[in-house]
Amino acid sequence: MSILIDKKSRLVVQGITGRDGGFHASKMKAYGTNIVGGTSPGKAGALVDNIPVFNTVRDAVRETEADTSVIFVPAPFAKDAMMEAADAGIRLIVCITEGVPTLDVVEAYSYIRRKGARLIGPNCPGLISPGRSMVGIMPTMIFREGSTGVISRSGTLTYEVVYNLTEHGMGQSTAVGVGGDPVVGLYYKELLEMFENDPETDSIALIGEIGGDAEERAAAYIRDHITKPVAVFIAGQQAPPGKQMGHAGAIISSGSGTAAEKIAAFEAVGVPVAREPSQIPALLKGRR
């Protein structure tokens, strides 16, 4: 079983006629994702890799019963694209676009929640349920079907951890890149709950990084609610205060959000923390 997406998910690609949208739409389609349409204002009736193009998400939903969208539009238009998807009745919105202003995300996320939809991202690689569906820009060749759930703030580290899991015979149920911006949609707590309730997920790999207190809150949630084995890696262990490391949200400010604090929070609740991503498989196997 997977969380959030599967073979039945009906995907619309917002910005499909752009360079990135068209390229990744073809990659997702080749993997087997059920892409039912794309959108690009003024280009209705066109085809991209035999995928029909609609003017609006509402048109796409009406004609195809799409329930999931992935967004590849430029940052200045991402807020409107997210809100358009929610307004059209899309249930899961995945925003790949990076550089979206934080206040735009705050407004869009609030609107999406009011509409009863879910958001992943922005500035994220998306998600994959191996063998079923991939929504985003994940390198599918490293993933294998299995029972380890993966949650990550870092796209690149997701791939490194997944590669090591696969090499050790530990396939994945679903892997989700939540994004590294200061404000994003679904985060550790919600995804941990989904994996806990998924009967075909038997362990969880969580990848965090410096900045904010999301990892500390995840540790508390694991202590109180998660029964399955969890192993963690925290990026940025050598980062100095005030130095942004890659993501907009990965910055130690006023002495808080350090890797040491996050590692201590997980260790205090009995969750093992890897010093290197390659240690994750052994830590999980040791707790199964």
Q: How far apart are CA 6 and CA 133, in angstroms?
A: 5
Residues 250, 238 contacting (CB under 8 angstroms):
no
Q: How far apart are CA 232 and CA 73, in angstroms?
A: 33
Report which DSSP code applies to 36: E
Q: How far apart are CA 14 and CA 108, in angstroms?
A: 16
Residues 105, 183 contacting (CB under 8 angstroms):
yes
Strands in 230-235's sheet, in edge-to-edge order, are 133-136, 126-129, 172-177, 145-152, 203-209, 230-235, 273-274
Q: Give 183's Cβ-side CA count (13 Å radius).
A: 12
Q: How far apart are CA 288 and CA 285, in angstroms?
A: 5
Sequence-distant (6+) residues with CB within 8 A of 7 are: 32, 34, 132, 133
Active site residue 247: yes
The structure tokens 């994959």 sit at 128
Q: How far apart are CA 269 and CA 115, in angstroms?
A: 36
Within 10 angstroms of residue 7's Cβ, the number of other Cβ atoms is 12
Determine which one of 24, 168, 225, 247 is catalytic: 247
Q: Give 69's Cβ-side CA count (13 Å radius).
A: 35
Q: Is 163 exposed, middle or buried (0-12, 13-18, 19+ CB in 10 A)?
A: middle
**Among all residues, which ones are annotated catalytic?**
247
